[in-house]
Amino acid sequence: MSWFILLVSGALEAVWAAALHRAFQSTGRRRITSTALFLVSVAASTAGLAIAMQSIPTGTAYAVWVGVGVVLTSAYAIVTKLERPTAARLLLLSGIAACVVGLKVVA
């Protein structure tokens, strides 16, 4: 169950990163909504990491949390055309994803 919580927390890291980006690019009601989403998702993401760290070693939990967040945030940026999906970028993101899976296997 801790691994599931950790993966969801990593996904929420991508949500708060995207919401933060949108909050600074918008005005009015949209900015308030993005800011609220940022605050809720950052709190939930951090809380999930804290829960997972009770049964998963700290370094492993943090590396997986960041890795999931990086890969999903980059995927969001590619899908929304904020970043280009170059071969090098995709290869390196695949490496991060492989390392996250490897940490799960050896933990």
The answer to whether 10 and 67 have CB atoms below 8 angstroms apart is: yes
Q: How much of the chain, in percent, has pLDDT values that exceed 90?
A: 79
Using one digit for the tens of pLDDT, what is the confidence trace for 56-97? Answer: 999 999 999 999 999 999 999 999 999 999 999 999 999 999
**Measured CA distances, 21 to 3, 30, 73, 79 (Å):** 27, 12, 11, 14
Q: Residue 66 belongs to what H/E stretch?
A: helix 58-79
pTM: 0.87
The answer to whether 20 and 77 have CB atoms below 8 angstroms apart is: no
